[in-house]
Amino acid sequence: MNPPEKRHAATAQVASVTALSPAGTATALLPLPAEPGPFRWSTRLIADRGAGANARLRARPRLTVCGWPGNVDAAARVIGHLADNAARHGQPFHDGKIVVRLIAHPGTSELRIEVDDARPDFPDFEQVANQSHETRPAPTGLSWAAHYRGTVSWDVKRDDDGADIGKTVQVILPATWDGSA
């Protein structure tokens, strides 16, 4: 068995990879694209007391697999608080769920976290959005976004006819603590 360094170096020289199908015949795998596209993931969560924990548990492996270079645990914490706030202070859609989306683009290294709920307003948004990252005592709720140098915003969500159907709360989270890539 080759040490990890040799295995890695040997696979880097191979132009195409061959795999065996169940019948034992060789098939060539398609090459990976040179430039990966943006990572996108979305799910619907039941809007209950477990929404935040559910969002954290589902988001953490996806951020790891997509190779987001930032602090995955910090991002999972922010995602959990956004989902928890939507479940507690927002309103679920007609199916009793909220929507969570993650979008990470390799070009910017930023993570866009979005949570939709059916309540079209956001009372006290200015107070939430203008919190310092130096919140004392320990941050709670959406102040975790500020703690991790994220930017919080929101907008009314409308259907195709222009009717208000809820809102989207968004956090842009940098890959590093100082906001630089």
- Looking at residue 134, its pLDDT comes to 58
Question: In the block, which residue shows the tokens 């709670």?
Answer: 140
Q: Give the percent of the chain with pLDDT over 70.
A: 70
Between CA 12 and CA 108 the distance in angstroms is: 26
- Looking at residue 6, its pLDDT comes to 41
- Looking at residue 31, its pLDDT comes to 61
- Looking at residue 18, its pLDDT comes to 40
Question: In the block, which residue shows the tokens 């589902």?
Answer: 58
- Looking at residue 32, its pLDDT comes to 52
Structure tokens at 28: 């060539």
pLDDT in tens, 1-21: 444 444 433 333 434 334 444
- Looking at residue 33, its pLDDT comes to 54
Question: In the block, which residue shows the tokens 């910017």?
Answer: 108
Cross-strand bridge partners of residue 169 = 115, 154
Between CA 113 and CA 142 the distance in angstroms is: 12
Q: Within a 10 A sphere around the Cβ of 138, how many other Cβ atoms?
A: 8
Structure tokens at 121: 């307003």
Decide: 80 and 140 in contact? Cβ < 8 Å: no
Cross-strand bridge partners of residue 103 = 40, 112
- Looking at residue 21, its pLDDT comes to 42
pLDDT in tens, 102-117: 998 877 889 999 999 9
37 pLDDT more than 50: yes
- Looking at residue 67, its pLDDT comes to 87
Q: Three-state SS across 13-33?
A: HCCCCEEECCCCCEEECCCCC
- Looking at residue 132, its pLDDT comes to 57
Provide the pLDDT confidence category of residue 160 given band limits of 50, 70 and 90: very high
Q: Within a 10 A sphere around the Cβ of 18, how many other Cβ atoms?
A: 9
| Run of H or E residues at 11 | helix 4-13
- Looking at residue 85, its pLDDT comes to 93
Amino acid at 12: A
pLDDT in tens, 48-95: 999 999 999 999 999 998 889 999 999 999 999 999 999 999 999 999
Between residues 36 and 55, which one has the greater pLDDT?
55
